[in-house]
């Protein structure tokens, strides 16, 4: 599963059970995020045992995008069967500031900042 | 109909800021190009402001990214300016000919953002109610409450998440000024002030 544009790409690798996000996500509200929400919901519905969200190449994320990622984490938590890992980068300042919020939504979430 | 006095100041809005020489203002005329087609301009404008102001702060390759002031300022300006522009575009009263503007100015140890757009009086009242909730709540708790409220409901409503992120993650101070527009008594101009300590 993949969604790609000039500014960003979202790709789910079912072998490694990893969602990879690249680029800059600053779409206009939930209407424009709908295809991404759908992709993430499909991934959650597959209930992989360990699910990795790799954000290490996601340079920018607006608040609508924060909303999408947060609700994805809540959805995964509600499944109750998935071990979730979020990979971030200290090189990208917003990740050092904001990714910890995901752990507050899902205390068992493993956050790997490198 | 009784005219409601919309002039109001909420939160941490400073009217007494010293006149600053160094600043950058970008103005958008709401009628020239439809909102949808210029959405990408929000990010471009925010990144330009971030790039422009980052030159005033020392960068240091030897520092880790967490302590590199230039990288931190650049990223913070980019996030905050983009959120302010997105909100201004989203909530702007399309029937109003008033331009939308964003200004960033530098003071000692802080950056001050000012974003102005017009809203219709009904929306202004709703927004004021939201601000009241924001300034009387614990922002960190409100953030979680907003996200947990309805997971299936993907409408972000008042989009308070951007403002809450500025407060919680960037330690910014926020204030608002509501003012009547002289040329159009039916419109309300709202200015959001964001103060970021650097």
Q: What is the pLDDT of residue B151?
A: 62
- Over the stretch B164-184, which tens digit does the pLDDT of each residue have? 999 999 999 999 999 988 777
Give how far A17 is from chain B: nearest CA, Å: 23
Exposure on the CB side of residue B125, measured as CA atoms within 13 A = 4
- Mutant choice from A41, A63, A70, A99 vs B, greatest count of B C-beta within 10 A: A63
Domains in chain A, ordered, with CATH? 2-113 (3.30.750.24)
Task: Check residues B110 and B155 and name the one with the higher pLDDT.
Answer: B110
Q: What is the pLDDT of residue B66?
A: 67
Task: Judge: A70–B147 Cβ closer than 8 Å, yes or no.
Answer: yes
Q: What is the pLDDT of residue B37?
A: 73
- Over the stretch A11-68, which tens digit does the pLDDT of each residue have? 999 999 999 999 999 999 899 999 999 999 999 999 999 999 999 999 999 999 999 9
Q: Is residue B17 included in any domain, yes or no?
A: yes
- Assign residue B98 the CATH number of its domain: 3.30.565
Say if CB B109 and CB B197 are below 8 A apart. Answer: yes
Q: Is residue B98 included in any domain, yes or no?
A: yes
Domain that holds residue B36: 8-197
pLDDT band at B2 (very low <50, low <70, confident <90, very high): very low
3-state percent helix, strand, coil for chain A, nearest multiple of 5: 40, 35, 25
Number of domains in chain B: 1
Between A and B, how many CB-CB pairs are < 8 A?
82
Q: Is residue B148 included in any domain, yes or no?
A: yes
Q: Is residue B48 included in any domain, yes or no?
A: yes
- As a whole number, the mean pLDDT across chain B is 87
Tell me which chain B residues have a C-beta less than 8 angstroms from the C-beta of A74. Answer: 147-148, 151
Checking ipTM against 0.90, whether it exceeds it is yes
Q: What is the pLDDT of residue A37?
A: 97
B143-168 residues labelled b (16+ CB within 10 A) or e (exposed): beebbeeeeeebebebbbbbbbbbbb
Task: Check residues B68 and A71 and name the one with the higher pLDDT.
Answer: A71
Q: Is residue B136 included in any domain, yes or no?
A: yes
Query: For a pLDDT cut of 70, what percent of chain B falls above it?
Result: 85
- Locate tokens 């920018």: which residue? A60
Q: Is residue B2 included in any domain, yes or no?
A: no
Asked whether the predicted pLDDT for residue B1 surpasses 50, the reply is: no
Q: Is residue B188 included in any domain, yes or no?
A: yes
- Over the stretch B23-59, which tens digit does the pLDDT of each residue have? 999 999 877 777 667 888 999 999 999 999 998 887 7
Q: What is the pLDDT of residue A63?
A: 96
Q: What is the pLDDT of residue B94?
A: 83
Q: Diameter of chain A by CA atoms?
A: 35
Comparing CA positions, the residue from B81, B75, B79 lying closest to residue B23 is B81
In chain B, whose CA is at the least distance from the CA of A25? B43
- Over the stretch B69-97, which tens digit does the pLDDT of each residue have? 899 999 999 999 999 999 999 888 888 88
CA distance B123 to B156: 16
3-class secondary structure per residue, chain B: CCCCCCCEEEECCCCCCCCCCCEEEEEECCCCCCHHHHHHHHHHHHHHHHHHHHCCCCCCCCCCCCCCHHHHHHHHHHHHHHHHHHHHHHHCCCCCCCCEEEEEEEECCEEEEEEEEEECHHHHHHHHHHHHHHHHCCHHHHHHHHHHCCCCCCCCCCCHHHHHHHHHHHCCEEEEEEEEECCEEEEEEEEEEEEEEC
Asked whether the predicted pLDDT for residue B61 surpasses 50, the reply is: yes
Q: What is the pLDDT of residue B69?
A: 87
Q: Is residue B1 included in any domain, yes or no?
A: no
């Amino acid at each position: 599963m993949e969604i790609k544009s000039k500014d960003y790409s979202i790709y789910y690798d079912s072998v490694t059970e990893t969602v990879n996000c690249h680029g800059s996500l600053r779409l206009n509200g939930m209407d424009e995020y709908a295809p991404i929400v759908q992709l993430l919901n499909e991934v959650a519905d597959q209930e992989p045992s360990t699910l990795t969200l790799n954000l290490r190449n996601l340079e920018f994320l607006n608040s609508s995008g924060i909303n999408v990622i947060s609700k994805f984490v809540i959805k995964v938590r509600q499944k109750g069967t998935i071990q979730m890992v979020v990979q971030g980068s200290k090189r990208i300042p917003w990740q050092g500031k904001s990714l910890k919020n995901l752990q507050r939504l899902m205390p068992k979430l493993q956050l790997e900042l490198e | 109909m009784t005219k409601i006095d919309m002039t109001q100041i909420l939160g941490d809005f400073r009217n007494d800021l010293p006149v600053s020489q160094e600043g950058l203002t970008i103005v958008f005329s709401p009628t020239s190009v439809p909102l949808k087609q210029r959405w990408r301009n929000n990010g471009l404008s925010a990144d330009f402001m971030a790039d422009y102001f980052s030159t005033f702060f020392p960068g240091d390759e030897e520092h880790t990214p967490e302590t590199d002031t230039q990288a931190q300022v650049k990223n913070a300006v980019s996030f905050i300016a983009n959120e302010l522009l997105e909100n201004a575009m989203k909530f702007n009263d399309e029937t109003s000919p008033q331009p939308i503007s964003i200004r960033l100015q530098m003071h000692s140890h802080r950056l001050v953002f000012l974003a102005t757009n017009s809203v219709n009086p009904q929306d202004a009242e709703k927004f004021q109610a939201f601000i009241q909730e924001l300034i009387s709540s614990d922002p960190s708790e409100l953030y979680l409450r907003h996200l947990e409220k309805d997971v299936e409901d993907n409408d972000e409503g008042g989009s308070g998440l951007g403002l809450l992120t500025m407060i919680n993650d960037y330690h910014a101070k926020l204030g608002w000024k509501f003012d009547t527009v002289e040329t159009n008594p039916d419109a309300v101009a709202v200015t959001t002030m964001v103060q970021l300590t650097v």
